[in-house]
């Protein structure tokens, strides 16, 4: 019996050596997409007084606009993403592959809010549409619009970082 145990141990040792768990040899996989501050955006009352200012990531180009905040697990409390378009048109978004609940703010060519989709449902494939032509769409953390009193009379002013 001891010879059988020794034989089995000799067979098992090379296999155990193959189970090297040295993390230095494993590829690094980035699991979080970092927020990139490209500018700032201020939400304004109709009389021009500020309601809130956020740091802004700008989604430019087809690829960035399709991706948006998909697969993002975090967004700064005073952060958001703007989707600028060349012209105002009806816009539709969805929450596919988006784990964060968001407020989606549709903004017309005159920088006035067209409508706000509040507290959208993560991972939903339901279409979320503007109530009219929108030239800009702003995404912020869910609840932001309510906390700061945003409405369809709110205007935006945004700028890129130099």
Spell out the domains of the chain, with CATH numbers in brackets: 36-160 (2.60.120.1140)
Residue 5: pLDDT above 50? no
Q: What is the pLDDT of residues 106-160, one digit of tens each?
A: 999 999 999 999 999 999 999 999 999 999 999 999 999 999 999 999 999 999 9
Closest residue by Cα to residue 54 from 78, 30, 75, 85: 78
The predicted structure's pLDDT at residue 29? 54
Q: What is the pLDDT of residues 17-70, one digit of tens each?
A: 444 444 556 555 556 789 999 999 999 999 999 999 999 999 998 888 989 999
Average pLDDT over residues 79-102: 96
Average pLDDT over residues 86-93: 97
Residue 4: pLDDT above 60? no
The predicted structure's pLDDT at residue 26? 56
The predicted structure's pLDDT at residue 27? 56
The predicted structure's pLDDT at residue 104? 98
Closest residue by Cα to residue 32 from 65, 73, 67, 62: 73
Rounded to whole angstroms, how far apart are CA atoms 131 and 92? 10
Rounded to whole angstroms, how far apart are CA atoms 77 and 58? 17
Question: DSSP 3-state assignment of 100?
Answer: coil
The predicted structure's pLDDT at residue 87? 97
The predicted structure's pLDDT at residue 130? 98
The predicted model scores a pTM of: 0.80
């Amino acid at each position: 019996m001891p010879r059988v145990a020794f034989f089995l141990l000799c067979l098992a040792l090379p296999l155990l050596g193959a189970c090297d768990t040295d993390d230095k040899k494993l590829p690094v996989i980035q699991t979080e997409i970092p927020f990139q501050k490209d500018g700032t955006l201020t939400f304004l009352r109709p009389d021009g007084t500020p309601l809130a200012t956020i740091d802004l990531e700008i989604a430019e180009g087809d690829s960035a606009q399709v991706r948006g905040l998909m697969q993002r697990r975090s967004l700064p409390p005073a952060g958001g993403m703007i989707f600028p378009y060349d012209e105002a048109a009806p816009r539709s978004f969805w929450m596919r592959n988006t784990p964060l609940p968001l407020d989606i703010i549709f903004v017309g060519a005159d920088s006035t809010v067209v409508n706000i989709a509040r507290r959208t449902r993560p991972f939903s494939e339901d279409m979320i549409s503007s109530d009219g032509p929108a030239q800009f769409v702003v995404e912020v953390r869910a609840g932001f619009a309510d906390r700061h009193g945003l409405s369809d009379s709110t205007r935006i002013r945004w700028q890129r970082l130099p």
